Amino acid sequence: MSGRRLLEIASNSVASALAAQAGGADRIELFDNLAQGGTTPSRGSVAVARDRLRIPLFVLIRPRPGDFHYDAQEAEIMLRDIESCRQLGCDGVVIGALTVDGDVDVALCRELVAAAGPLGITFHRAFDAARDLPAAMEQVIGLGCQRILSSGGAASAMDGRQTLRQLVTRAGDRIRIMAGAGLDAVNILAVANESGCTELHASAKAPRTSAMRHHNPALVGLENDWVQSDAAQVSALRRALDQMG
């Protein structure tokens, strides 16, 4: 395959985004709440990220964990979050919504796309939860999105790489399929080669140890340590992708 593959890093904080940039990422997807699949980050986080990043910044628009079927109140939240992203000068947003039957919620997504205006649009892994991936892809193409983030409907992009290949072939030049889920420096090149995806998405996360000397172990769920993207891991992903193969 010729041409440089694009590496997007899923960043669960501004610190993660800056580490990703330092490691050689091409684009950031900023979000909060990594443990539950990601939700929209705070306006403050988006503002600081926009001020400090030199690479494109996309922001996840997801009002809560759980499924991707949203009510009117949640839709209003997403529309306001998109408006905020436009005001702050973001490069794009990451959206997605499904009907109760597992189809793309075209009506709601059309509103989200319209609200985004000139911003770039990625359709997130709500796609992988759809009941018919080829049909869902056609719906997303009809919405005018530029790319779909997908694992091929599998637990990881490695497991779903053959389905990703089929989607890439079917999509042609109408939309880009970005492989994501479970990618690391060991498997990312194989997924890129076997799926045909030219855009890859990984979190490159590593544990961070708290500097707190005091810790109350009884506070389950309020542990001091956390995870964030690591510049060295991002660099390893970049090197792996830049290999010939």
Per-residue pLDDT of 159-178, as tens digits, reads 999 999 999 999 999 999 99
Per-residue pLDDT at 245 exceeds 80: no
Q: Is the pLDDT of residue 25 over 80?
A: yes
Residue that is written with structure tokens 């890129």 in the block:
192
Q: What pLDDT score does 143 carry?
A: 98
The predicted-structure confidence for 65-92, as pLDDT tens digits, reads as follows: 999 999 999 999 999 999 999 999 999 9
Average pLDDT over residues 132-147: 98
Q: Please, what is the Cα angle at 135 between 130 and 137, to 5 degrees? A: 80
Statement: residue 244 has pLDDT above 80: no
Query: What confidence score (pLDDT) does residue 1 get?
Result: 41
State how beta strands 226-229 and 205-208 pair.
antiparallel
Reading the block at residue 214, the tokens are 């005091």
Overall average pLDDT of the 40-58 stretch: 98
Pairing between β-strand 147-150 and β-strand 176-180 as defined by DSSP bridges: parallel
